[in-house]
Amino acid sequence: MSLRVLITGATGQIGWHLQRTLAPLGNVTALTRDQLDLSDLDAVTRAVREFEPDVLVNAAAYTAVDKAESEPELARTINALAPARMAEELARNACLLIHYSTDYVFDGNKPTAQAYEENDATGPINVYGRTKLEGERLIVAAGCPYIILRITWVYDTRGKNFLRTVLRLAREKDELRMVGDQYGAPTWARTIAEATAIILARSLERNSETGAWPSGLFHLTAAQQTSWVGFARAILEDYDALLDWPADTGEFGGPLKAKRVVPITSEQFQAAARRPRNSVLSNAKVQATFGVTLPDWRSQLRLAMQDAIR
């Protein structure tokens, strides 16, 4: 019998790619926010019972980090209580939940040169991080098999994210001002989806061999690290390098006005929510467990830009 896979957040950055990367593994159903609103917990229960997935990949989340400060209950419902409800339903038949969490579960005070490991102490400094951490803990407590993947600095060539924001601002301004004292690993949504497919495929193999799904918490990010300033500069550099390509570039076409990126401090970046200074995560565990290694962030960026222009 074909594996039944249910994806939430079908139109999100990762969910959109998951529909394609997971298709070879089974019968995939992907639900948009209109089809399943995670703020409605009873709807979450009904969806799991109706579709009876063998694997549920939860790619939906409340990701408006600053807005979460004024909507803590809504953020908690979507990021913590909804995944808990999924896990409780899946536990009835020992089905697998794959869930995405975040680097924001950490306070970011670890020295920048050091990457966070899965067993490091957590300490979120904003509402978003607290709700995502609660979601992790509730999933574990529910008793279903689970794979929680902490991801960081996710972007894509579609949707609302840093890459598209930089390109928009670069058409409007002579120079860009970006935070230079926060560090992470920009990770393309497609590589996360591709890695998820590998992780699920290898989990299926182990399930066939042992009769049980593997469970665990893993970090999954691009290799190497940079600051928001470094990320923005790389976007402008790669964009200029690809402008000569003879292609119909759509929204990625035309010259950019901005040529410089000026560093500012976290304190100068006025936002409702504080951000971790260090968002670098170690990928050693996911590499050892599933043999998954993501390319470095700069290589991913170039591939994403080429894909948008092609």
Answer yes or no: 128 catalytic: yes
Cα distances from 153 to residues 81, 102, 196, 231, in angstroms, run: 24, 9, 17, 10
What 3-state class would DSSP assign to 183? strand
Question: In the structure encoding, which two tokens stand for residue 28, read together?
Answer: 């995939």
Residue 217 backbone dihedrals phi, psi, to 5 degrees? -110, 130
DSSP string covering 69-91: GT-HHHHHIIIIIHHHHHHHHHH
- The Cα 175–Cα 172 span in angstroms is 9
Cβ distance 129 to 104 under 8 Å? yes
Distance CA 99, CA 87 (A): 10
Q: How far is CA 292 from the centre of its chain?
A: 16
Measured distance CA(39)–CA(56) in Å, rounded: 17
**Choosing from 128, 146, 155, 239, which is the catalytic residue?**
128
Backbone φ and ψ of 255, nearest 5°? -75, 155
Q: Which amino acids are annotated catalytic?
A: 128
